[in-house]
Amino acid sequence: MNKTALLFSLTVHENESAINDFIEFARYAYQSSYFILHVNSLWGEFDSNKLLYLNDRVFINSNRFEISSKFCGKTGLHVSNIEYFNNLDISYDFIIISASNELYLKKINVDYLEKYKYGSNCNQNYWSWDSNTYIHDVQLISLMKSLFGEFCHNGFHEGIWFSKKTGESIVSFYRNKISREYDVFNCDEELLLPSILYFVENYEKRGSGLNYFHQSQAPNFEEICDFINNKNDLLHENYVSIKRIDRNNKNLRNQLKKMLL
C-alpha cells in the first residue's frame, strides 16, 4: 500500500523565508506532504523561486486573488487551491487547511486522520447568521440561511483537515451553491468553511483540528516548548501546530530548528 500523502493548502501572507520555515516544519511533522500556495495578487514582491522544493513538493496556484481589508474571506482561496492542485493529477489522501504564520512542531498521527476522515476545532455552539458580527450584507445573510438554516458553525480555520473526497464535495458545493450566486470573498472563512464542511459531511462524528491557537500575538520559546512537550493539560493530543509564530524572530525560529530539524 502506498504511504498516505497530505496536502497543505496555504494562503500566503508571509515572506519567502517564513514560508520555507512552514514547509520544513510541516515535512518534519509528516514527510510525505505536498503544498499548494495562494499568493495575494497585491503582493508583487514575493519571489516563488526562493521556495524550497518548488514544482516538486511545493506548487503555486496561478489563480491569484486580492486579499485586503475589503476582500478577506479565504474559503474561496482554499477552494481554488484544491481545484488547482487536483488538476496537477498528483495523488494525495488528506487536505490540511493552513496559515503561513503557523508551524507544525509535532508529528502528525495519520492513523487518527484515517479514523475520523475530517476534523476541526470549530465551536459546536451555533451562532445565528443574523446575530454574528462578521457579516453585514443582508443579501449574503439571506443566502447563508437558505443554504445552512438559521445557524452557522464558527471557529478558526487553521488546522481543519478532511479527506480528498470531502475536499471535492466542498469544491462542488462552493461552486454550485455559493459562488454562482454571490461573491463571498467578504464572508469570513471562520464561518463559511466550517459550515460547508459540516454540511457536506452530514454532521457525522469528527476528530479534532490540528492547530493550537495561541491567544497572544506571539508565543515565546518557553510557551512553545511547553506545547511541544505536552505540558498544557488543555491541549488535545492531536494538536500538532501552533499559530502566530513571530516571522521576524529569527533567533526563536533557529532555536526550534536546532531542536527539531
Class at the top of the CATH hierarchy for domain 6-260: alpha beta
Residue 13 pLDDT > 90: no
pTM for this prediction: 0.91
How far is the C-alpha of 29 from the C-alpha of 260, rounded, in Å?
10
Residue 153, C-alpha cell as written in the block = 458553525
Name the percent of the chain lying above pLDDT 70: 85
Instruction: Spell out the domain ranges in the chain.
Output: 6-260
How far, in Å, CA of 161 to CA of 88, rounded? 20
- Among 51-55, 75-79, 250-254, the range of highest mean pLDDT: 51-55
101-129 tens-digit pLDDT: 889 999 999 999 999 889 988 765 567 77
Nearest Cα to Cα of residue 245 among 9, 22, 4, 48 = 22
Nearest to 11 by CA among 73, 57, 56: 73
**pLDDT at position 170, please?**
93
Higher pLDDT, 203 or 168: 168
What does the mean pLDDT of the chain come to?
A: 84
The residue ranking higher by pLDDT, 92 or 230, is 92
d(CA 198, CA 219): 31
pLDDT at 22: 96
Tell whether the model's pLDDT for residue 213 goes beyond 80. no
Closest by CA position to 188, among listed 212, 211, 166, 155: 155
